[in-house]
Amino acid sequence: VDRPVRVYADGIFDLFHSGHARALMQAKTLFPNSYLLVGVCSDDLTHKFKGFTVMNETERYEALRHCRYVDEVIRDAPWTLTPEFLEKHKIDFVAHDDIPYSSAGSDDVYKHIKEAGMFVPTQRTEGISTSDIITRIVRDYDVYARRNLQRGYTAKELNVSFINEKKYRFQNQVDKMKEKVKNVEEKSKEFVNKVEEKSHDLIQKWEEKSREFIGNFLELFGPDGAWKQMFQERSGRMLQAFSPRQSPTSSPTRGRSPSRSPSPPFPWLFNKASPPSSPKAASASLSSMSEGDEDEK
C-alpha cells in the first residue's frame, strides 16, 4: 500500500513499565512504515474482566500518550475486537504476544484475528510485569507502609490499623536512632583517620626539621664549622692588635736623598779629634748644625 501500515495493540497497561514499552516497540517496528494505534480499556471494563487496577484509566491513558512508539491512543477500547471496530480504525494488523489470552468466556480472545491472518506476535519481556510489581509491594507491605507514614500519609489513607500504625512509627524511630548511631560511628572513624594522617604528617615534618637543625648546628659549631674559623680569625686579629709586627729594616727613609748619608745629630760626640773646648764653642757648633739642617730642608 502507498500509506503507513496501521498496526493495533491493546491492553490494560497498569503500572506502565519497560515490558510494555518493549512490546510497543516491536509492534511499531514490524514494518518499515507503520502507524501504531494503542487501545486502552476503561476501568469499568478492566475491573469486570480482569480485576482492580492500581492506576485509574486517565493515568493509564497519559502513560501511553507519553510513550515515543505510540502514534495514537484509543480510549475505552473494547475487550474483544469486532469487525466494526477494525473497519472503523482501518486496522491492518493486530500485535500481541502469542500466548492464548483466555477471558470473557473465550479460550483466546484473539482467535478470530489469527484465523483472519491479521495477527502479528510480539515477544514478552521476562522478569517484569504488572503482577510482579504488585507482588513485590504486597511482599514488602510493612516497609512501604512505614515509609509512607513517615512521609506524611495517614493511617486511614494507608488502611492501617491503630496498633499497626503505632508499631510502624516505633520502628521508624528505631531506624532513625540506628541511622544516627551509624552516622556518628562513620564521623568518628573519619575523625580518627584524619588525626592519624595529621599526626603522621607532623612526625614526618618534625623529623625533617630536626635533621635540618642538626645539620645546621654541626655546620656552625662542629669541629670544622664556621664558628671555629670565625673565632680563629678574630683571635688572630686581637693578637696582632696587642703585639704588632716590627717594621722592616730595609724600608727607605722618608724625605731624605739616598745619595747623602745622614750626619749624626751631635757630631762633636762622635768626633774624638776635635771636641768642643768650651760651652760657648759647643753652642756655636749646635747653632751651625741647625743652620745646616735648615739649608737641607
Reduce the secondary structure of 137-181 to three states and give it as a string: HHHCHHHHHHHHHHCCCCHHHHCCCHHHHHHHHHHHHHHHHHHHH
Residue 267 lies in a domain: no
- Residue 238, helix vs strand vs coil: helix
Instruction: For residue 225, tell me if it sits in a domain.
Output: yes
pLDDT band per the 50, 70, 90 thresholds, residue 174:
confident
Domain range for 141:
130-232
For 26, 117, 196, 202, the CA distances from 34, given in Å and listed in that order, are 11, 18, 68, 73
Please tell me the predicted confidence (pLDDT) of residue 84: 95
Taking alpha carbons only, the member of 63, 10, 70 closest to residue 40 is: 10
What is the count of structural domains for the chain?
A: 2
The answer on pLDDT for 259 being more than 60 is no
CATH number at residue 41: 3.40.50.620
Residue 117 and residue 222: Cα distance in Å, rounded?
108
Q: What is the pLDDT of residues 24-55, one digit of tens each?
A: 999 999 999 999 999 999 999 999 988 999 99
Task: With a cut of 70, say whether residue 284 has pLDDT above it.
Answer: no
**118 found inside a domain:** yes
When the pLDDT of each residue in the chain is averaged and rounded to a whole number, the result is 80
The least confident of 98-102, 116-120, 264-268 is 264-268
Give pLDDT tens digits for 115-153. 999 999 999 999 899 999 999 999 998 888 888 888 888
Indicate the pLDDT class of residue 87, thresholds 50, 70 and 90.
very high
Task: Please say if the pLDDT value at position 177 is more than 70.
Answer: yes
Task: Tell me the range of 125-129, 154-158, 208-212, 278-282 where mean pLDDT is highest.
Answer: 125-129
What is the pLDDT, as a whole number, of residue 294?
A: 46
Q: Which of 93, 122, 151 is the last residue of a domain?
A: 122
| Distance, CA of 146 to CA of 153 (rounded, Å) | 10
At residue 95, φ and ψ (nearest 5 deg) are -110, 130
pLDDT at 57: 96
Q: How confident is the model at residue 85 (pLDDT cuts 50, 70, 90)?
A: very high
Which of 209, 232, 255 is where one domain is finished? 232
